[in-house]
Amino acid sequence: MELLANLGTGFAVALTLQNLFYCFMGVLLGTLIGVLPGIGPVPTIAMLLPITYALPPVSALIMLAGIYYGAQYGGSTTAILVNLPGESSAVVTCLDGYQMARQGRAGKALAIAAIGSFIAGTFATLEVAAFAPPLAEVALKFGPAEYFSLMVLGLIAAVVLASGSLLKAIAMIVLGLLLGIIGTDVNSGLQRYSFGVPELSDGIGFVVVAMGLFGFAEIIVNLEHKEHREVFTSKVSGLMLKWSEFKEALPAILRGTGIGAVLGILPGGGALLSAFASYTVEKKIAKDPSRFGKGAIQGVAGPESANNAGAQASFIPMLTLGIPPNAVMALMVGAMTIHSIQPGPQVMTSNPQLFWGLIVSMWIGNVMLVVLNLPLIGIWVKLLQVPYRILYPAILLFCCIGVYSINNNVFDVYMTVVFGVLGWIFVKLECEPAPLLLGFILGPMMEENLRRALLLSRGDWSVFATRPISAVMLGIAAVLLLIIVAPSIRKKREEAFQEG
Amino acid sequence: MSFIRNPKDFWAGVLFIAFGLAAVIIARDYALGTAGRMGPGYFPRGLGIIMMALGLILSLRALRVDGDRIRFGSFKPIFIVLGSVIVFALAAPKLGLIVATILLIVVSSTASHEFRWKEAVISSLALSAATLVVFVYGLKLQLPTWPWFLQ
């Protein structure tokens, strides 16, 4: 019954007029950028962070969270109507969703995507509420050695489950860790890697890093290709599903929800992986797999439920351990730090209002999304007709003003240009930028815990192997690395990401 | 350079070696300390060495395993997009947000292969009005809005 009391606390916070407003703004913006291809939640959240400085921390986090799961709803709209993933996790929705639209069933595809997302969102909210407290309880007993090993495991697992070259991803983490420690060393007061530049003594802002690597680099790469977008402009009608269609889709929704709920918690998981996994499962267990890719309703219902469940479940490690499992959560950790809340297991006890308010707001946000989204489809379709040549300068403008306003200093804008160049190089060399951001956020924490652990053990490295929890975590990390290096599994992993 | 069979991995490796080397060289004056009493140089130097090792493996492997070549498109977008941001940064403190916005939009718009003058000018005016309403009046950002000679 403690759960009910906690949820009660959450409702009291989330249902205030102010928080309802920011929740609404978050999901609306999230849907908007989800609908628009070429801009994802990472640069959007980075863009809005400076603006949330003035808000109370709960409202700020509620809004930023809304952007992430709102984007999952929006992404499916574009996937179904334009055959383009508005949001990377909607890639698989294109396969059957667009086919349904071509058969004149666009309305039904949109409806089942929204219903599936809602069911998944509701379940994931309960999951966070039920699993976060016990996990935080365990994490509170962790010492520095356990924390260090947990971060190692988190980072390794994040790159193992993500797509792309493992070696490059690990190198990107290390680069991120190094960039993260730029600035004044807390223990000695020494300025590290700041080259005597006063603006660097506080370190590089993570908004700058995220905006350069994700925002600017993406715009540049998009402009290099001359692509024309064809919008499915015919009127969307027939949102109502037949009972038989709903019954056909429901098992896929439930399976997708389950897959997302499990994979979302894992580092590197979250929305994208969950959607891929769900599509693969649906295709495997279908009586007639040949229907997939030709407008199977399960091919929309499953992945759409999975990506929303995955997006929300990825809040669990962030909220309970303070360890971000993906780039969006890394930004959420940053947002908490800005509001001087140290992310970690103590948040739940020290800021119960914030913790439960945020969780309940996710469910309220999901209700808003279902109620709002379907009637607003017409507006989203109009928005899709805005050509990219008008859109990207506007995105660039919001990025610039956002970065400039952090410290009222254009130095940050120049730094973002530097990271834009770096991001562009990374795209050319096929180095995923997300691990760098995770490392960047964890850098100072990792150094501090390593330092403390070895101070307590008087310089004895074996402390990481002799403390049981720490040893288990490092063991899992090592096994993960070994498994992924094994050729047969490496092939499977590549297949999973190429599905569709 | 035909002995490089996987250019993407090879140059990524070189990049990581360079970053690792720079990290170690710059950190040479930071006190190392011991494992039990770590100085400010311990962690960064360790990371730098790990990164060099990873870069080396990546580059060497790229000599043996085939891979895609690096594909460059037009270089116009990167120069114009980042150039327009630099123009914004140069203009904003003295000329204010509104002028900086107009400059940013017009300059950055030319990066598209579908660039149209009229459209860019209209869009820049509309967006500077939006900047005024949202950022200056709405969010009350404390940034210079108008050119210094008008204040």
Chain B CB contacts of A181 below 8 Å: 43-44
Structure tokens of A441? 């956020």
For B113, nearest residue in chain A (alpha carbons): A226
DSSP structure class, residue A237: -
Confidence (pLDDT) at B47 = 94
Instruction: Select the highest-mean-pLDDT range: A162-166, A228-232, A452-456.
Output: A452-456
The model's confidence at residue A27, banded by pLDDT at 50, 70 and 90, is: very high
Q: What pTM was estimated for this model as a whole? A: 0.84
Structure-token match 């409702």, residue found:
A11
Query: Best of A220, A419, A458 to disrupt the B interface by mutation (most B CBs within 10 Å)?
Result: A220
Residue A251 has pLDDT above 50, yes or no: yes
CB of A237 closer than 8 Å to CB of A442: no
Complex prediction ipTM: 0.93
Q: How confident is the model at residue A500 (pLDDT cuts 50, 70, 90)?
A: very low
Q: Is B58 on the interface with A (CB under 8 A)?
A: yes
A269 pLDDT above the threshold of 90? no
> Which among A480, A446, A481, A442 has a CA at the least distance from the CA of A464?
A446
DSSP A135-165: HHHHHHT--HHHHHHHHHHHHHHHHHHSSS-
Query: For residue B64, how many other CB atoms are within 10 A of its CB?
Result: 8
CB–CB contact B57 A225 (8 Å): no
Q: How far apart, in Å, are the Cα atoms of B128 and each of A36, A255, A308, A476?
A: 22, 48, 36, 53
What is the model's pLDDT at position A487? 62
Mean pLDDT across A397-421: 89
pLDDT band at A234 (very low <50, low <70, confident <90, very high): low
pLDDT digits (tens, 9 = 90+) for A57-110: 899 999 999 998 888 888 888 888 877 776 777 778 888 888 888 888 888 888
Burial class from Cβ neighbours inside 10 Å (0-12, 13-18, 19+) for residue A474 reads buried
Check whether A171 has a pLDDT greater than 80: yes
Burial of B87-126, coded b for 16+ CB within 10 Å and e otherwise, reads bbbebbbebbbbbbbbbbbbbbbbbbeeeeeeebeebbee
Q: Count the neighbouring beta carbons within 10 Å of the beta carbon of residue A408.
A: 13
Q: How much is the mean pLDDT over chain B?
A: 88
Confidence label for A227 from pLDDT (cuts 50, 70 and 90)? low
Establish if A481 touches chain B: CB-CB under 8 angstroms.
no
A391 contacts chain B (CB < 8 A):
no
- Cα separation, A303 vs A301, in Å, equals 6
Selected residue with higher pLDDT from B45 and A41: B45
Asked if A178 is an interface residue toward chain B (Cβ–Cβ < 8 A), one would say yes
* A229: pLDDT strictly greater than 80: no
**Furthest-apart CA pair in chain B: how many Å?**
66
Residue A482, pLDDT above cutoff 80: yes
Tell me the percentage of chain B whose pLDDT exceeds 70: 98
- Separation between Cα atoms, residue B39 and residue B113, nearest integer Å: 53
pLDDT of residue A361: 92
Are A455 and B37 an interchain contact pair (Cβ–Cβ within 8 Å)? yes
Q: What is the pLDDT of residue A162?
A: 66
More confident residue, A211 or B87: B87
Which chain B residues touch A220 with a CB distance below 8 Å? 77-78, 81-82
Is the pLDDT score of A472 beyond 60? yes
- What confidence tens digit (pLDDT) does each residue in A212-226 have? 888 888 889 888 876
Contacts with A175 from chain B: Cβ below 8 Å: 16, 19, 51
How far apart (Å, rounded) are the C-alpha atoms in residues A418 and A427?
14
How many residues does this entry show for chain B? Answer: 151
Q: How far apart are CA A174 and CA A358, in angstroms?
A: 32
- Beta carbons of A224 and B73 less than 8 Å apart: yes
Nearest to B82 among A171, A421, A450 (CB): A421
**In contact, A99 and A93? CB cutoff 8 Å:** no
What pLDDT, on a 0 to 100 scale, did the predictor assign at position A488? 58
- Is residue A130 within 8 A of residue A136, CB to CB? The reply is no
Of the listed ranges A230-244, A300-314, A318-332, A378-392, the least confidently predicted one is: A230-244
Per cent of chain A over pLDDT 90 is 16
Percentage above 70 pLDDT, chain A: 92
A397 and B127 within 8 Å at the Cβ level: the answer is yes
Q: Decide if pLDDT at A177 tops 90.
A: yes
- Which among A223, A396, A416 is the nearest to B104, CB-wise? A396
Asked if the C-beta of B85 comes within 8 angstroms of chain A's C-beta atoms, the answer is: yes
- How much is the average pLDDT of A464-488? 84
Could you tell me the two tokens for B121? 């000018």
Task: Identify the pLDDT of residue B49.
Answer: 95
Q: Does B120 touch chain A (CB under 8 A)?
A: yes
User: Is B73 in Cβ contact with A174 (below 8 Å)?
Assistant: no
With CB atoms and an 8 Å threshold, state whether B85 touches A408. Answer: no
Closest CA to A151 of A483, A431, A457, A464: A464
Banded model confidence at residue B106, pLDDT cuts 50, 70, 90: very high
